Amino acid sequence: MLGGMRREAGDFRRGLRRKWDRTPLRVRLTASVLVLVAGSLVLISVAALVALHTYFLSTVDAELKNRLERLKPAEIAQSTESDNSFRPTQYYFFAVYADGRQEMRPNKPDAAPSFTVDDVVDADGRAFTALAADGSVRWRVLALPVDSGGDGTGPAYYALTYKLDHFDQAVAGLVWVIILVGTGVLAGLATLGAGLVRASLSPLRQIETTAAIIAAGDYSRRVPDRDPQTEMGRVGVAINSMLKKIEVSIRDRERSEERALHSEQRMREFIADASHELRTPLTSVRGYAELVRTNPGMPEGDRQYYIGQIEESAKRMGLLVSDLLLLARLDQERPIELRPVELTSILVDAVSAAQVSGADHGFAYEGPDRDVVVAGDRSRLRQVFDNLLGNAVRHTPAGTEVTLAVRLSEDGSSVAVDVRDDGPGMTEEDRRRVFQRFYRTAGPVSQPGQSGGHGLGLAIVAAIVKAHHGSVAVESALGEGACFTVELHVVEPPEAASEGEPEER
């Protein structure tokens, strides 16, 4: 049975605990404050009532002793009920005999206090409280022993009592005042405290709202800043610091996923495009080789022609493989050894070479009066401008003017090289995708007998410029020509390097 009661008590406590844990924080704080205030009010009220009771009774006891010592018992014994000189309204006088008899003045037993000689003996000269005969009123009683002269016939004690009804009424009124005032104080405090607690917990609601917004996907949201000297300020700083790290981690993961998806997509496109580009020359090589093998009596001139076609296809495959290998190395972001090189000489050499290969085009060079030195790899930069000029020759008709212009920035920290032509231009789709690998414009190749290329030349240009920490862009429209712009950083040339570095051709 005892074990069952203990289990029931434990279940009850656990139930209360769960209910308390499910209670909102603002309700718990308000309830806790109200309980503390109510306990404080009860404690203060009880202490005040006890102090008042003790003080009043000590005053009454002193008054009873003073009056009892000043009264003349003989005069009291001779008085009658009609004589009011010795009968204060709140007082009764008693003569208590050893055998238990009592004589009182005034003689009104119904309203008089009820006590015995044993109560007097036990009090031993101290005041005590007794009830009226009907139990409705409390009395304070003080009894002092009487010297009876040795005959034993007189009273053993004289007692004086004081009616406590006024005091009890005052205490009862005070109790009601305390109850009413305390209830009002608790009600007002509950209303005011609930508002204050709600206002104090508003930062927590902001944190809750911020967390919900972040959970919905807005990782840049932060908790409002508050004074770091306060608790909520320190919590906000800690949460914002944590949110910043979480956002960085999430952004890094998203970028990593995007890069992985993009890389996978590019790899698929690369494999498909490379397979397509290699299939044609491989098919040609296999076809010509089989043709030569199966026709041993073929005239020597035809045999040499087909062997030349095989060599041409092999060269094309070799060039394609070289370009793919270069792009793969650039994709691995291997650092290029950057040295101060004269950009002007590179551009002049590139224009001279283009004039030889594109004799039916007009070429012009526009550059500053002074040398322009950039940090780069000379051979790679030469490849960039050879590809751009070759692209202009390949995709524009004969007689097109191609201009290579050099523009320095106002502060001299960068240089922009424009390769522009007045050819047919390109569509918006071509302009957006022209730097993609294996992308070739829909327009025809301008030069008869020229191959359209593999669509890797401009992709190599973009990769090399990026490795030089520069940028490349194109502006073009149908019928308005095209302008490719390469922007690079300018450096101050070392005197020794500028004088002694051999030019690469």
pLDDT band at 500; cut points 50, 70, 90: very low
Check residue 85 and give its pLDDT.
Answer: 47
For residue 162, give the nearest of 217, 115, 113 by alpha carbon.
113
**What would the pLDDT profile of 212-256 be if each residue is shown by its tens digit?**
888 887 777 787 877 778 777 888 888 888 888 888 888 888 888
Res. 494: pLDDT tops 70: no
Check residue 448 and give its pLDDT.
Answer: 43
Res. 325: pLDDT tops 90: no
Decide the pairing of beta strands 362-366 and 138-145: unpaired
Res. 105: pLDDT tops 90: no
What would the mean pLDDT of 487-500 be, rounded to a whole number? 65
Percent of the chain with pLDDT over 70: 84
More confident of the two residues 78 and 30: 30
For residue 358, give the nearest of 388, 322, 378 by alpha carbon.
388
Contact indicator for 139, 163 with CB cutoff of 8 Å:
yes
What would the mean pLDDT of 347-357 be, rounded to a whole number? 87
What would the mean pLDDT of 79-104 be, rounded to a whole number? 68
Nearby residues of 452 by Cβ (< 8 Å), 6 or more positions away: 394, 440, 445
pTM: 0.45
Decide the pairing of beta strands 401-408 and 362-366: parallel
Check residue 22 and give its pLDDT.
Answer: 74
Task: Supply 372's token pair.
Answer: 């322009």
In Å, how far are 291, 293, 300, 379 from 297, measured between CA atoms? Answer: 11, 10, 9, 48
What would the mean pLDDT of 482-502 be, rounded to a whole number? 70
How far apart are the C-alpha atoms of 320 and 325, rounded to whole Å? 9
Query: Strand (E) positions, 79-156?
Result: 91-96, 102-105, 128-131, 138-145
How far apart are the C-alpha atoms of 485 and 419, rounded to whole Å? 6
How far apart are the C-alpha atoms of 366 and 406, rounded to whole Å? 6
Res. 503: pLDDT tops 50: no
Res. 267: pLDDT tops 90: no
What would the mean pLDDT of 341-369 be, rounded to a whole number? 86
How many residues appear in the chain? 505
* 443 exposure class (CB count in 10 Å sphere: 0-12, 13-18, 19+): middle
Check residue 177 and give its pLDDT.
Answer: 92
Check residue 504 and give its pLDDT.
Answer: 41
Check residue 449 and give its pLDDT.
Answer: 42
Q: The tokens 């490349």 sit on which residue? A: 472
pLDDT band at 180; cut points 50, 70, 90: very high
What would the mean pLDDT of 52-78 be, rounded to a whole number? 78
Check residue 176 and give its pLDDT.
Answer: 92
**What would the pLDDT profile of 464-487 be if each residue is shown by its tens digit?**
888 888 999 999 888 888 999 999
**What would the pLDDT profile of 276-321 be if each residue is shown by its tens digit?**
666 767 787 888 788 788 888 788 888 788 788 888 778 777 766 7
How far apart are the C-alpha atoms of 12 and 69, rounded to whole Å? 62
Out of 310-324, 344-358, 370-384, 394-408, pick the least confident. 310-324
Mean pLDDT of the chain: 80
pLDDT band at 204; cut points 50, 70, 90: confident
Q: What is the DSSP annotation of 372-440?
A: -EEEE-HHHHHHHHHHHHHHHHHTS-TT-EEEEEEEE-TTSSEEEEEEEE-S----HHHHHHTTSTT--
Out of 146-150, 212-216, 306-310, 430-434, pick the least confident. 146-150
Check residue 89 and give its pLDDT.
Answer: 60
Check residue 505 and give its pLDDT.
Answer: 34
Q: What angle do CA 191, 197, 198 make, to 5 degrees?
A: 90
Nearby residues of 399 by Cβ (< 8 Å), 6 or more positions away: 360, 361, 362
More confident of the two residues 77 and 118: 118
Question: Helix, strand or coil for residue 229?
Answer: coil
Res. 149: pLDDT tops 60: no
Task: Supply 387's token pair.
Answer: 């590809």
How far apart are the C-alpha atoms of 173 and 167, rounded to whole Å? 10
The helix (H) or strand (E) run that includes residue 46 is helix 25-70
Check residue 334 and give its pLDDT.
Answer: 63
How far apart are the C-alpha atoms of 24 and 13, rounded to whole Å? 19
Check residue 88 and give its pLDDT.
Answer: 52
Check residue 454 and give its pLDDT.
Answer: 65
pLDDT band at 51; cut points 50, 70, 90: very high
Check residue 47 and give its pLDDT.
Answer: 93
What phi, psi does 351 have (nearest 5°)? -65, -40
Highest mean predicted confidence (pLDDT) among 80-94, 207-221, 274-288, 346-360: 346-360
pLDDT band at 44; cut points 50, 70, 90: very high
Res. 77: pLDDT tops 70: no
Check residue 440 and give its pLDDT.
Answer: 72
Out of 37-51, 201-215, 275-289, pick the least confident. 275-289
